[in-house]
Amino acid sequence: MQIKGQAALVTGGGSGLGEATARELARLGAQVAVLDLHLDNAKRVAQDIGGIAIQTDVSNADSMQAAIDQAAATHGPARILMQIAGIGTAKRVIGKDGNAAPLEDFAKVVNVNLIGTYNAARLFAAACAKLDPMEDGERGAMVFTASVAAFDGQVGQQAYSASKGGVVGMTLPMARDLAQHGIRVCTIAPGLFATPLMRTLPEPVQQSLAASIPFPSRLGKPEEFAELACHIVTNGHLNGEVIRLDGALRMSPR
């Protein structure tokens, strides 16, 4: 699919990998709706790229449906969904006090990262399936964001790894399911990227993380994620696949 002239939705578009992807889509000529829980950040990005900002909670059915409708009212129906919103925590199964980790903490991460991704995907797909087919019968494309933690999660990453592993597991069946509607689904599993979250870590920690990446031994640039996300949209034969983007990194246990 050509990105130029298409309407696109970017969840988590107010920061980090989502922000870079929103900017790249706009550079390539898409009309971009920046969907984020944090409206101020979404507005900052949307203003810069001539898009619109919509406060959205991806894990809430009404909020996500309203965002899809509002974006369509401004830009026309979207054929591109970049799902990049996500949260992460680390928590040992048994705390220092000997008590089990709170169940709510696990549920919250799964709710945003996994259920939120499914929620946005199902609502986007239902709207997209009604559009006219383009070349090859294609109607739209979705990109999900997992993590290398889906495969080699570290100590304490139970919830995060489970949520991202769920996104990985959902990719192929959703691509198969939506094939009849001409909607493609791929997932990117990033390694370690230089986003605001990462930059809050002390410099020595960032350096040691970067050194653990075989090549190139530096944190990934958000623009590198954005380029791949946009390539997935334009390459019509990429479907049902999970692509690691990690400089050959394999995370150690801790």
Ligand X SMILES: NC(=O)c1ccc[n+]([C@@H]2O[C@H](COP(=O)([O-])OP(=O)(O)OC[C@H]3O[C@@H](n4cnc5c(N)ncnc54)[C@H](O)[C@@H]3O)[C@@H](O)[C@H]2O)c1
Residues that bind ligand X (CB under 6 A): 11-12, 14-18, 36-38, 41, 56-59, 84-88, 112, 116, 145, 147, 190, 192-193, 195-198
- How does DSSP classify residue 146? -
Question: CB of 210 within 8 A of CB of 218?
Answer: yes
Distance, in Å, from the CA atom of 31 to the CA atom of 22, rounded to the nearest integer, reads: 9
Minimum CB separation of residue 18 from ligand X in Å reads 5
CB-count exposure of residue 169 (10 Å: 0-12, 13-18, 19+): middle
Q: State how far the alpha carbon of 222 is from the alpha carbons of 15, 97, 191, 245, in Å.
A: 10, 38, 11, 11
DSSP 131: S
Rounded-to-integer distance, Cα 117 and Cα 59, Å: 8
Give the catalytic positions in this structure.
160
Gyration radius of the chain over CA positions = 18
- 44/181 with CB nearer ligand X: 44
Nearer to ligand X among residue 7 and residue 245 (C-beta):
245
The nearer residue to ligand X, 24 or 57, going by C-beta atoms, is 57
Residue number, 161 or 239, with CB nearest to ligand X? 161
CB of 163 to ligand X, least distance (A): 8
Q: How far is the CB of 84 from ligand X (least distance, A)?
A: 5
Calpha distance 11→33 (Å, rounded) = 9
Rounded Cα–Cα distance for residues 218 and 110 (Å): 29
- Closest distance to ligand X from the beta carbon of 238 (Å): 19
